[in-house]
Amino acid sequence: MKNKTGKLFVFSAPSGSGKTTIVHHLLAQKKMNLDFSISATSREKRGEEIDGKDYHFISLKNFKNHITNNDFIEWEEVYNNNFYGTLKSEIERIWNQGKHAIFDIDVVGGLRIKEKFPEQTLAVFVQPPSIQEMEKRLRNRKTDTEEKIQERVKKAEREFQLAKYFDEILINDNLEIAKNDATVLVADFLNKG
């Protein structure tokens, strides 16, 4: 990657923590000059998802070719034959526009980005007040089966153990306060030169 001038803002969290809402709030702050890093995935589109906006949807074969060609900053096989990753070209696209990249990404992927770009990355772990509250939020969404909710809860218990490796832990007990705290964290990191 040639142009390493932009900053990277990683927001990672278990499902149901509110990270996507916080990232959308930050993207609306135009003065911060942020652009969303669109992840690549080998999974099928769901519902109203749009290729090139929500994800870069690519075939399993093409995803594996990108791995072989070292085209990813980070990637992970989240479920069997279900890959997610960040293409180097996506970060270059954002930096070439003179912007900073913001990520709404899983916990392991977020830590990999921080590891590769330690000085340029602010890694924020968005934490719900408790596993019980997170489970309640997942149920209120009414988008997942009971089996999927239990799978997400088990994964969250493992992800909570990784929170200590992030630069900041942002507890989302009150969404408006969490959005404000996230804005302050990003602004402070942008001002660090």
How does pLDDT run across 62-109, given as a tens digit for each residue? 999 999 999 999 999 877 888 999 999 999 999 999 999 999 998 999
Is-contact 114 3, C-beta < 8 A? no
Other residues' Cβ atoms within 10 Å of the Cβ of residue 129: 12
CA distance 111 to 117: 10
DSSP 3-state percent helix, strand, coil across the chain (nearest 5)? 45, 25, 35
List Cβ neighbours of 59 (8 Å cut-off, separation of 6 or more). Answer: 42
Domains along the sequence of the chain with CATH: 8-190 (3.40.50.300)
Return the bridge partners of 10, or none: 103, 123
- For the chain, how far is it from start to end, CA to CA, in angstroms? 21
**Element containing residue 138 per DSSP (H, E):** helix 131-141
Which residue type occupies 190? Answer: L
CA distance 133 to 130: 5
Residue 55 DSSP symbol? B
How does pLDDT run across 28-67, given as a tens digit for each residue? 999 999 999 999 999 988 788 899 998 999 999 999 999 9
Which residue type occupies 73? Answer: I
Mean pLDDT of the chain: 91
CA dihedral (52, 101, 43, 149) positive or negative: negative
How does pLDDT run across 123-166, given as a tens digit for each residue? 999 998 888 888 887 888 777 788 888 888 888 888 999 999 99
Angle at 115 between CA 81 and CA 192, to 5 degrees: 130
Residue 32 DSSP symbol? G
